[in-house]
Amino acid sequence: MAVREKVFDVIINCFKRHGAEVIDTPVFELKETLTGKYGEDSKLIYDLKDQGGELLSLRYDLTVPFARYLAMNKLTNIKRYHIAKVYRRDNPAMTRGRYREFYQCDFDIAGQFDSMIPDAECLKIMCEILSSLQLGNFLVKVNDRRILDGMFAICGVPDSKFRTICSSVDKLDKVSWEEVKNEMVGEKGLAPEVADRIGDYVQQHGGVSLVEQLLHDPKLSQNKQALEGLGDLKLLFQYLTLFGIADKISFDLSLARGLDYYTGVIYEAVLLQTPVRAGEEPLGMGSVAAGGRYDGLVGMFDPKGRKVPCVGLSIGVERIFSIVEQRLEALEEKVRTTETQVLVASAQKKLLEERLKLVSELWDAGIKAELLYKKNPKLLNQLQYCEEAGIPLVAIIGEQELKDGVIKLRSVASREEVDVRREDLVEEIKKRTSQPLCIC
């Protein structure tokens, strides 16, 4: 939880920096709300027992509830983030950060705006968060559903096979082109020459120059959808250059993304290396953030089908928690699970009342303080507690100190002790622990 809090802090700070408000939705959704939104994965939805009333399921992601919320509240315009748990009856894989109950961190911009401005901001946010978390080098692959569909059309894929061929393409980050081609031809019944035409495209990736090149591709440029997608990507790269992140972005024609609801630009961030310890399963090059534009989803929940264009991103925090934890373990860094600044201790017996009085004074002054819940603890035990809990300071009360109106302040690390006048103690502790000014 201590690691999680640090990661969430970075993410929430970034979301707020970009002017997002936070919303929450119930963990339940009507079963019918989730039906037909996740394709094959619908079997992974947790249902509640029918105990009377409406049939309910646990949310599977935060995007469908967000779209339902927008439609239900007739919102046409919002920039929000939502950090919450979602539920999937999947096979857990602990080292990869895959669980049945896990956090999603979503940021979405809903509303009718000028092309590619919110989309560019979503990519900027992904880059800011991944940089702040210091996970190492990363790359954001970008593509557009309209380019994919246009490409399938000009290559001769029948309309009915777009989605299934799309899933095959999506596997290119894990397996070779030959294997993907075999699947397309063998399993999905595509003509080999159609697959080869697709292969020529999807093996390409690059920067804005590839966008330019494809804008002049004799076939692709004849397809209206593809042309729109390419035009938008060109604009997107222009904005990303202004945001100073164009070097992190790769236009990758093999990026397809699994979910059906994307309608425009799609993106996925991958780490270029992940820390591995001897004897441990490598974390792989998996995605740590992803998202895209989904202009049709809100309309599915509106009785009149009114559309609200949306673009968003989701940070793969569980995977990030795993990476950060493994890195900390490798560095043998111990993460403190509390923030206590000072332990109130006594050097002699019969000083419980004095300890209670002092710790109460410190609490009232906003100092994070503890004492051992014993009448007469040994000083050694009190010092040991500080070592274990990482508490940096000890305020020691003794009979002499009480007479002199001072407290002995000991630094646990250096073992140095100084007498501090009781009225100066709070200031001295604040100075030593450089408590941030904003904590009230």
- Residues in the chain, how many? 440
| Strand positions, DSSP E, 294-376 | 310-315, 342-346, 369-370
List of residues contacting a copy of itself (CB under 8 A): 1-2, 5, 13, 16-24, 26-28, 46-51, 85, 87, 89, 101, 109, 111, 113-114, 117-118, 120-121, 124, 128, 238-239, 242-244, 337-340, 352-353, 356-357, 360, 363-364, 366-371, 373-375, 389, 436-440
| Cβ 201 to a copy of itself shortest distance, Å | 30
Strands 265-271 and 287-293: antiparallel
386, 375 Cβ separation under 8 angstroms: no
104 marked as part of a ligand binding site: yes
Cβ distance to a copy of itself smaller for residue 109 or 270:
109
| Cβ 437 to a copy of itself shortest distance, Å | 5
| Cβ 19 to a copy of itself shortest distance, Å | 4
Cβ distance to a copy of itself smaller for residue 113 or 273:
113
Buried residues in 122-161 as b, exposed as e (16+ CB within 10 A): bbbbbbbbbeebebeebbbbbbbbbbbbbbbbbbebeeeb
Q: How far apart are CA 252 and CA 151, in angstroms?
A: 13
| Cβ 381 to a copy of itself shortest distance, Å | 13
Nearest to 206 by CA among 243, 238, 246, 242: 246
Cβ distance to a copy of itself smaller for residue 190 or 344:
344
The two tokens of residue 81 are 């983030």
| Cβ 85 to a copy of itself shortest distance, Å | 7
| Cβ 225 to a copy of itself shortest distance, Å | 23
* HSE-CB for 425 with a 13 A CA cutoff: 30
62 marked as part of a ligand binding site: yes
159 marked as part of a ligand binding site: no
Q: How far apart are CA 146 and CA 416, in angstroms?
A: 67
289, 181 Cβ separation under 8 angstroms: no
Q: How far apart are CA 105 and CA 315, in angstroms?
A: 5
135 marked as part of a ligand binding site: no
Cβ distance to a copy of itself smaller for residue 142 or 154:
142
Cβ distance to a copy of itself smaller for residue 57 or 254:
57
Q: How far apart are CA 426 and CA 180, in angstroms?
A: 66
306 marked as part of a ligand binding site: no
| Cβ 126 to a copy of itself shortest distance, Å | 13
15, 314 Cβ separation under 8 angstroms: no
Cβ atoms < 10 Å from Cβ of 52: 5
294 marked as part of a ligand binding site: no
Cβ distance to a copy of itself smaller for residue 179 or 387:
387
Cβ distance to a copy of itself smaller for residue 129 or 202:
129
Cβ atoms < 10 Å from Cβ of 119: 28
433 marked as part of a ligand binding site: no
Q: How far apart are CA 103 and CA 3, in angstroms?
A: 14
Nearest to 293 by CA among 29, 111, 73: 111
Cβ distance to a copy of itself smaller for residue 183 or 370:
370
Is residue 370 classed as helix, strand or coil in its secondary structure? strand
68 marked as part of a ligand binding site: no
Cβ distance to a copy of itself smaller for residue 108 or 252:
108
Q: Please, what is the end-to-end C-alpha distance for the chain in angstroms?
A: 23
262 marked as part of a ligand binding site: yes
| Cβ 371 to a copy of itself shortest distance, Å | 8
| Cβ 380 to a copy of itself shortest distance, Å | 18
Residues in binding site for L-histidine: 61-63, 88, 104, 108, 257, 261-262
Binding-site residue set: 61-63, 88, 104, 108, 257, 261-262
